Structure 1
C-alpha cells in the first residue's frame, strides 16, 4: 500500500528527511513501518512575505500492521490512498482492416501513436513538417534571416509547437493518466524531477531529445512516421470514414486520429469545406512581456532572491474587468521570445526557455480574452480571420519579419517607443520600436493597460517603464473546436477522432498528451491489435 501525505510546510532550508519525518508524524507511523519514502510534489509558496516549501510525500508501507494503522488516517486532512496508474491495454475484439492513422505529431498525436504502437496496432503517423533535426535547421535558418518555411517552423513539425516552448507540464486537468505521461517522458530521457515538481518543465532543449526517442520507440514497436506529408481531405461512405487523402493520394483507414494542432488553418478550411463540423471558440490575444529575470526574482522572493534553494521565479497573474480577463500565459523564466508564425508575411510571437532557465530575461504573454462576438465574420472560422488580421497588420507595420516592440511606460502612456532601456529584446529576428496600437484591437490595448497597472501592484516592478512588450501573441489556443461525440468521434464522420489542442480539447503539452491517450483508448477498447501482415 502507498499513501500520499500532502500540505507539509517546512522552512526553505529543510531537508527531504525532515519532510519524511513530518509525513510519518501526520500518519502516526514509526520509521520502521515505512519501506520507502520519496517526494511526490514540491513547490515554493512566496505569498504574504514568507517563503516556505510545500511538499507531498509518498509513503510505501512495510507490513500489514502498518497498513492497518494507516487506513485509520486515510480520509483525514492531507492523507489519502495512492492508487497505481493503470496503463491503457487492449480490450476490443473487432478487427481493423487497415492500420489506424494519426495525423499530426505534436503531444496529442505523439502519445496516441505511442500507446497504439506499444499495444500492437502499428499506427501510421502523417506529419506535414519535418523530423526534429531538419526542423531545427529550418527554424535556425529563419531566425538568422533566411527564408520562411511554411511547412517546417515553430508551429509545424515533429513535437508540435510544444517542442519550442518552455516544455511546461502543468495542467488544470486532474487525470490519473497525467502521471503516465510524465513517467513516459522520464523513460525517454526527461529529468526525474518532473515527477515531483508542482510545476514541472522539461525545457525545449531536452524535450526535443525526448520526442526523438519516443519516435524511435514507436517505429521499433511497429509504427511508421512519414514526414513532409499533409492531410488534404478524407473520403467517407455512409457517414463512416473510408480513407484519408494525403497529398492527393487515398490512404484507406477506418480510424483516423486528427491531432493537427491549433495552427493548421489550411486543414481546418479543407475539412470544413468537406462537411466536418467546426464551431468558433474563444481564445486570447496580446503580446509578450519581458523583464530582467533578476527583477522578477526580487519582486517575488524579496531579500531571499538568489538563494541557492530557490528556482528562477515564475508568476501567474490575472485581472477581470468589463467582462473580460487579462492574464499572464505561458511564463518562461530565463527564456526568450521566438518567432512563431505559420504563414508568410505575418508576425506571431511566443516564448520558450531551456531546461536551465538561465537566460537574462523572463517573458510571458499578457493576453486578453476574445470570443466569437469579436470576430470579423460569424462563421466557424471567424477566429482564424481575427488572428490573421492582427498578424498581417503587424507585418505591414514593420514591413518585414521584425516584430513591433514597445516599452511598458510608453504603452501605458500611449506614446511611441524610440529605443529600449535596460531590458533588451530577445526576439531573434530583431524588433522595430513603435507602438502596438493599430496592431492589436483597441479593446485589447485598453484591457492590457488596465491589467498591467493591477499586476504592478501585485509584483513590484512588473509595470516598470523599461519592461518590453513584443507582439503580437495570437496563438494561445485553437480558434476552433471540431465537435466530437461522447465516443470522441466527429459528429459527422464515424471513425474520425478529433484530438488535442487543435481540435479544441486541450490546452498545453500535458493535457494534449492525455487527450491523445484517450483517443487511442477508443481504438483499444473496440479493436484487437493488428495481425502481423503487410499492407
Structure 2
C-alpha cells in the first residue's frame, strides 16, 4: 500500500531518519513497519527568518495496513497509479514525422515519437551542444556572432544557457515524466522532489547530449546546421519542407522553433499561416550581491549549506496598471549576451548548478501588449522587440557591448560613473549609459516605480549598489500561432505548432509538455512509420 503524507515540517538541521520517524508517528506505526520510503517534494519555508523550516511530502510503502489508525487530512491512501497510455492510430503516414527545433518542446516530442517507433527526423538550425557551447563562448569573448548557432539557436534551445529552472505552474501528469527523464539522463536526482528544481547550464549540456543519443538509438535522425527555409503546401495541406535548399517530404510537422526564430515567423506569415500578436514583457537585467539577497531572504541562516543561494520573486502593479515583475531569477550566476541578430542586443541570465558566483541576477520587466505595437501585422510585436534591441546595440557603442547603469542612478536619470560592491558580469563588455534611451517610455516609468517598491521588500535593492544591464526583450514569444484542440494549425493541415515559439508555453517544463502533447496528437492518428 502506498501512502502519501503531506506537510511534514522539519527543522533546518533535520535528517532523513528523523523524517522517517516523523512519518511513522503520523501513521501511528513503528518505523520498522515502513518497507519503502521516498521523498516526493521538499520546499523551504522562510517566512520566519529566525526559524526556517523544510516542508516535505513523502511516499511510504507499509506492510502494517491493519495497524493504520491515523485519520488525517495530510495522509492520503493512494490507489493504483493510472499509467500514462497512448494508443497509436491506424492511418498510414506518407512520410515520417518531422520535428523542427531541438529545444525542450522539440526534444521531448522527438523522444516520445522515437520511443513509440515513429523514427522522427529532427531538424535543428544550430549546432550540436558540444560545438554550440564553443561557438557561444567565442561570441562572449570576441563579440563575433554566429547567426545560426548562438544562445537562442542550437541543440537544447535557449534554456541551455540559463539556470535550467524546472519550476512550472501547470498541473500535468507529463511533468513527472519530464523530471524523471532529465534525472535519468544526467540531471541531479533532487530535481524530482525539490520545490524549486534547477539543473544548471553545465548539467543541461550533459542531459541534452544523452537524450539526443537515446533518440538516435531508437531510430530517430537529427540534422544539425539545417534551417527550415520554406513550406511546400497543396490545398492547405503540408506536403514538404525546404531545408538548406533541399526538399524533404513531410505531411506531419511539429514546429518547435523557440521564441526567437524571427525569419521563420516571417516565412510562416508569407505562407498565410494564421497567427496573432501576443503580449510579452520588456525590461533589464538586474544584478546584486548574492550575499545581500541571502541575508534578505534567510537572515541569520544565510549561507547555510542546506539552503544554498537564495532567490526571490517580486511583483508590482504600476500606476498605469502594467505588471512589473522579476523574471528568470538566477542565484549565483551571470548576465549573458543572448543576441541572435546582427546589430541588435539582447540579454539573459545564466547559472551553473552550484550557483556559486558572487552576483545574483534577474530580469525585471514591464508588460507590453499589442496596443503598444505599431502597425496591423501579426508580427508587430516582433518588430517592437527588434526596434529596441537595435537601440540598445547602438547605445552600447557596437560589438554587442551593453549599456549599464546603477539602479539608483536610473531612478534619478543620472549616468553612472563608477561601481560599488557589484560589478556587471555581462560579456563581451559594457559601458555606462542612460538606459532610458533604449527602453519604451512606459517601460521606463514602470521600472522606476517597481524599483522603488522593491526597495521596501529587499532593503538595498534600489538604493544600494545594484546594477542594471540592457536590454531584456526575449521573455516570451511575440506571436501565437493559432491551432485547434488537436494541436494542429487552424490554417494548415499537418502543421503542429508548439512550445514557447508558438506562444503556448513559458519555460523548460511547460514547453516540453506542449511538445509531448503535439507528438501524442500525431501518434493517436497514425500508426508507427
Query: Normalising to structure 1: TM-score of the pair?
Result: 0.95
Pairing partner for 2:235 from 231, 234, 238? 238
Deviation at 1:29, TM superposition (A): 4.0
In 2, the alpha carbon distance for the partners of 1:327 and 1:424 equals 23
Partner of 2:58: 57
Within a 5 Å distance, the mapping from 1:38-437 to structure 2 comes to: 38-49=38-49, 50-62=51-63, 65=66, 69=68, 73=71, 76-77=73-74, 79=76, 81=78, 84=81, 86-87=83-84, 89-321=86-318, 322-400=320-398, 401-437=400-436
Asked if 2 retains the 8 angstrom alpha-carbon contact of 1:285 and 1:370, the reply is yes
Alpha-carbon offset, residue 118 of structure 1: 1.0
For the residue of structure 2 that corresponds to 1:144, the secondary structure is helix
Q: Cα 1:122–1:336, aligned 2, differ >3 Å: closer, same or farther?
A: same
Deviation at 1:332, TM superposition (A): 0.5
Match for residue 37 of structure 1? 37
1:512 aligned residue:
511
Closer, same or farther: CA 260–271 of 1 in aligned 2, 3 Å: same
Q: CA deviation at 1:368?
A: 0.6
Rate the CA distance shift 1:200–1:258 in 2: closer, same or farther, 3 A: same
Which residue is 2:479 aligned to? 480
Q: Deviations over 1:88-109 (max 9, x none)?
A: 5443222212110000000000
When residues 396 and 110 of structure 1 are mapped into structure 2, their CA distance, relative to the original with a 3 A threshold, is same
| 333-342 vs 141-150, which moves further | 141-150
- Asked if structure 2 preserves the Cα contact closer than 8 Å seen for 1:299 and 1:461, the reply is no
Q: Secondary structure at the match of 1:460?
A: coil
Q: Deviations over 1:376-431 (max 9, x none)?
A: 22320111011011100011112211101010110121211122221000001111
Q: Is the 8 A contact 1:85 1:179 kept in 2?
A: no
Counterpart of 2:23?
Answer: 23
Partner of 1:533: none
TM superposition shift of 1:510: 0.6
- CA–CA distance in structure 2, aligned partners of residues 39 and 481 of structure 1: 38
Give 1:312 shift. 0.5
Residues 484 and 4 (structure 1), Cα distance of their counterparts in 2 relative to 1, 3 Å cut: same
- Provide structure 2 residue ranges, at least 5 long, that are not aligned to the other structure: none
Q: State the alpha-carbon separation in 2 of the partners of residues 179 and 343 from structure 1.
A: 36
Aligned mates of 1:242, 1:57 — CA distance in 2: 50
> Against the structure 1 CA distance between its residues 402 and 499, is the aligned structure 2 distance closer, same or farther, given a 3 Å change threshold?
same
Q: TM-score, normalised by structure 2?
A: 0.96
Aligned to 2:10: 10
Match of 1:468 in 2: 467
How far did residue 59 of structure 1 move? 1.3
Residue pair 1:489, 1:495 contacting (<8 A) in 2 also: yes
CA gap of 1:85–1:233, structure 2 versus 1, over 3 A, is: farther
Q: Is the 8 A contact 1:284 1:476 kept in 2?
A: yes
Work out the CA distance in 2 between the residues paired with 1:210 and 1:164. Answer: 13
Shift of 1:442: 1.2
Aligned to 1:493: 492
The 1:55/1:488 distance shift into structure 2, 3 A limit, reads: same
Q: d(CA) in 2 for partners of 1:341 and 1:373?
A: 26
Q: Which runs of 5+ in 1 are unaligned?
A: 531-535
Worse-superposed segment, 460-469 or 217-226: 460-469
Q: Give the distance between the partners of 1:79 and 1:318, measured in 2 at CA.
A: 35
| 1: CA distance, partners of 2:25 / 2:274 | 56
Q: Counterparts of 1:143 and 1:19 in 2: how far apart (Å)?
A: 46
Distance of 2:208 and 2:316 partners within structure 1: 36
Cα distance between partner residues in 2 of 1:84 and 1:277: 40
SS in 2 for 1:155: coil
Q: Is the 8 A contact 1:90 1:119 kept in 2?
A: no
Give the CA RMSD over aligned residues.
1.7
Change (3 A) 1:318 1:78: farther
Alignment partners' CA distance in 2, 1:79 and 1:290: 43
SS of 2:288 mapped into structure 1: strand
